[in-house]
Amino acid sequence: MLLIHSSTGQSSYTEQGAGSANLDVSSQSAVMLQPTIGSRIMHTLRIDRDVLSPYIGSAFIASVPIGDWDVTATNAYSATPGYTVYGSPETRYGASFEAGVEFASYKGITAYCSFNGMQFENEQQYGGQIGVIVPF
């Protein structure tokens, strides 16, 4: 189980001078929570004194916006109401998965290879890692 919290803030400001739209822009305070719950299955195989560990895992992920994401801009010389520059993002749900293998040598060297992916409603992300850790 994992909970990621990210936040962003922006102060209000006013545009003035030649070439500007003379806008008054409101401040912004936005928070995104990303709760994740999942599991990983790992199996250990001994090869003499070395260890080979293949694994697979998956998780449910949600991206939940909290707070005032909207930024409103108004023009002091216009009778029209302010307009929203940014809209709040929608809550999104998805799943992630991973598969890989780790090899740990008795001599201290560790090698790993993994593939990761994430599927949201209309978006996919894929990636992977390959590495060797050598003690010195």
For residues 60 and 17, which has the higher predicted lDDT (pLDDT)? 60
**pLDDT at residue 4 in the model:** 83
Domain that holds residue 27: 2-133
Domain total in the chain: 1
14 class by beta-carbon count within 10 Å (0-12 exposed, 13-18 middle, 19+ buried)? exposed
The more confident residue out of 120 and 101 is 101
pTM above 0.95, yes or no: no
Banded model confidence at residue 2, pLDDT cuts 50, 70, 90: confident
Which residues, other chains included, contact 52 with Cβ-Cβ below 8 Å and sequence gap of 6+? Answer: 44, 45, 46, 101, 102, 103
Which pLDDT value is given to residue 42? Answer: 95
pLDDT digit string (tens) for 63-91?
888 876 777 777 766 655 666 666 677 88
